[in-house]
Structure 1
Amino acid sequence: MKRRLAREKAFQALFQMNSSEIGADEAIAHVLNDEGKDAFLTELVEGVLEHRNEIDDWIETHLENWTFTRLARVEKTLLRMAAYEIKFNEDVPSQVAINEAVELAKIFGEDQSGKFVNGVLSKMVK
C-alpha cells in the first residue's frame, strides 16, 4: 500500500475511534476491507494513540485564538497524525507530513481546513 493511501486509511481509523468506542485493531480492520495489513498504517494509528497526550499538548501550544477542545474532529485527527509523523517518525520529512495532512484536509475537511492545518503545522516545525 502506498503511504498516501495508508495515511488516508489511518485517518479514517483514528476518526472512527474518536467517534465510537472501538479499538485500534477493529478500526484498522474495518478500513482495510480485506486488504492485507499495512505496517505504516498500523504505526500511524498506534503511534498517535501511544503519544496522544503529548501530541495534543504540543498542538495546543501552537494554536492561536483557538483551544484544542474547539477543533473539529477532522482537523484534530489530521493534526495528531501529522504531529506524530513530525515528532516521532524520522523517516518522514516534516514537509511531507504537512503536505499530506493538507491534502487530506482538502478531501475530508471544510473549505478552510487545508489552510488551517497548514498554518498550525508550519508553526510546529519552526
Structure 2
Amino acid sequence: MKRREAREKAIQTLFQLDNTELLSVDEAITYVTEEPANPFYEQLVRGTVQNKDEIDKAIVGELENWSLDRLPKIERTILRLAIYELLFNKEVPHRVVLNEAIELCKTFGDEKSGRFVNGVLSKFAES
C-alpha cells in the first residue's frame, strides 16, 4: 500500500470513528481494510486517535471565525490527520503533508475544502 492510499484509508477510518461511537479503532480498521493493515496506515489512525485532544486544541488555536464543531466533517477529519503528521510524525516533510491534505480534499471534499484546509495548515507550516 502506497502512502497516499494509506492516507485515504486512514481518512475513511477516522471518518467512521468520528461518526459512530459503536466502533473501536480495531473494528474500524478491519471495516475499512480487509487485508492485513499497513504499518503506516495503522500509525496514522492510531496516532490521530490517541492524540485527538491535543490535535483538536491545535486546530482550534488556528481557526478564525469557526468552531471545531462547525467544521464540515471531512475537513475536520483531514485536518486532524494532517496535524497529527505535522506534530507527531517528523519523518514526513511539512510540504508533503500539506500537498497530501489538499489531494485528500480533492478526493473526499470539494474545491472549497482544499482552500480552507490549506489556509489552516499553512499556519502550522509557518511555525
Q: What's the TM-score, normalizing by structure 1? A: 0.95
Letter in 2 for 1:29: T
Q: Tell me, which stretches of 5 or more residues in structure 1 are unaligned? A: none
Partner of 1:116: 116
* Residues matched between the structures, number: 125
Partner of 2:48: 48
Q: CA RMSD in A?
A: 0.9
Secondary structure (helix, strand or coil) at the match of 1:123 reads: helix
Q: C-alpha distance in 2, partners of 1:52/1:14?
A: 11
Q: C-alpha distance in 1, partners of 2:111/2:123?
A: 21
Instruction: State the Cα distance separating 1:36 from its structure 2 match.
Output: 2.1
Check conservation: 1:10, 1:45, Cα contact below 8 A: yes
Check conservation: 1:48, 1:84, Cα contact below 8 A: yes
After TM superposition, where is structure 1 displaced by more than 6 Å over at least 4 residues in a row?
none
Instruction: State the Cα distance separating 1:37 from its structure 2 match.
Output: 1.5
Instruction: State the Cα distance separating 1:110 from its structure 2 match.
Output: 2.7
Between the aligned residues of both structures, percent identity stands at: 51
Partner of 1:29: 30
Letter in 2 for 1:42: E
Q: C-alpha distance in 1, partners of 2:80/2:121?
A: 10
Q: Tell me, which stretches of 5 or more residues in structure 2 are unaligned? A: none
Greater CA drift, 103-112 or 51-60: 103-112
Q: What's the TM-score, normalizing by structure 2? A: 0.95
